[in-house]
Structure 1
Amino acid sequence: MSILRSKYYDHPDGEDAFGKIVATNKYALTAGLAWSTLDVLTLSKPQGYLPTIGRFAYNTGPLMGMATAFTLTTLAATNARGKDDKINYLIGGFAAGGVFGAWKRNHVAGLCAGLFLGIAGVLKKMSIEQGWEFFPKPLKHQYGGVNIASNDYTITAERPRNWTTEEKKEQA
């Protein structure tokens, strides 16, 4: 399997630490690069290449650290406790919140982020256990498009157009 195609739930919790770290850091890297681009273009507006790279590192590095802290702490809690349950995700969320608090140099922000991320982790674990989706895919509507004449916008569908053949049979 390719490293870039690894997903968090390819293996049970407590196994494949490297694959799980890669899976969570893909999302952290994407979010970090998006936020860094927004920061560089609109908020901080650094002058030169090195300050711009520094802003990207300042924003992306801690997000990847939070993802790694969550993954490794959840893995360690699963192996240490011997259980695969929601408490491990709560502990992992607080570990990620601790990294956030250290990044912002504010322990209250870290505690609040840990609580938020812990609850989000518990909800994600519940969605996996119970079979519902945390972020469901949006429904695709059939309205509009290039050939709008083929869409049926009525309440009931039109009857088939073979009624004329039976009418001809009755006349004959």
Structure 2
Amino acid sequence: MAQRLLRAYDEIPDGTQCHRKAYITTAFGGLIGAIGSAYSVVLNPANSHLEAVARAGRYTFTAAAIGAMFGLATCVSAQVREKPDDPLNYFIGGCAGGLTLGARTHSYGTAAVSCVYMGTAATLFKIGKLEGWEFFATPKM
């Protein structure tokens, strides 16, 4: 599923069809959040079913919001700057996702650190795409 989402994201040129890019990054963030919430609920059992559902929703929707902000900020910055293949657009998107996480946790420190880390990770992802790095390597036999 992750490969399908990444392929769908790569099919759309940067700086175009922001609504589709935002939808794909939101779905990818939601998928990652659902996986994280499943681990959280399984490894730290909740006292009630309601608490487990609330925790799962909190992680899933937070990750989906981070993905949405990444997709929107990346696409809009590519349109505004008129440089669609610039890794700085991805840093801006990653930073926007990090600021979203900081707003969710009500912490300036979390916002600043996650802005730098998510922006750097997104920039490296874009540089890797431009230089032909394999994100999911095919097994060689």
With the shorter chain as reference, the TM-score category is 0.7 to 0.9
1:114, CA displacement in angstroms? 1.1
2:68 alignment partner AA: T
Q: TM-score, normalised by structure 2?
A: 0.86
Deviates more, 1:118-127 or 1:33-42: 33-42
Gap regions ≥5 residues in structure 1 = 142-172
Structure 1 partner of 2:75: 75
Structure 1 partner of 2:51: 51
Structure 2 partner of 1:124: 125
Q: TM-score, normalised by structure 1?
A: 0.71
1:103, CA displacement in angstroms? 1.6
Gap regions ≥5 residues in structure 2 = none
User: Greater helix share, 1 or 2?
Assistant: 2
2:69 alignment partner AA: A
CA contact (8 A) 2:45 2:52 kept: no
2:25 alignment partner AA: T
Distance in 2 (CA, whole Å) between partners of 1:79 and 1:96 is: 18
Distance in 1 (CA, whole Å) between partners of 2:53 and 2:103 is: 21
CA contact (8 A) 1:7 1:19 kept: no
1:39, CA displacement in angstroms? 1.4
Match of 2:37, SS?
A: helix
Higher relative contact order, structure no. (Cα contacts within 8 Å, ≥ 6 residues apart): 2
1:140, CA displacement in angstroms? 4.4
Distance in 2 (CA, whole Å) between partners of 1:61 and 1:136 is: 26
Give the 5 Å matches for 1:9-158. 9-43=10-44, 45-48=46-49, 50-84=50-84, 85-133=86-134, 135-137=135-137, 139-141=139-141
Residues 57 and 123 from structure 1, CA distance in 2 versus in 1: closer, same or farther, beyond 3 angstroms? same
1:69 alignment partner AA: M
Query: Cα RMSD between the aligned structures?
Result: 1.9
1:23 alignment partner AA: I
Deviates more, 1:117-126 or 1:63-72: 117-126
Match of 1:60, SS?
A: helix
- Equivalent pairs: percent with the same residue? 26
When the two structures are aligned, how many residues end up with a matched partner?
A: 136
1:67 alignment partner AA: G
CA contact (8 A) 2:103 2:111 kept: yes
1:129 alignment partner AA: L
Deviates more, 1:59-68 or 1:119-128: 119-128
Structure 1 segments (4+ residues) deviating >4 Å = none
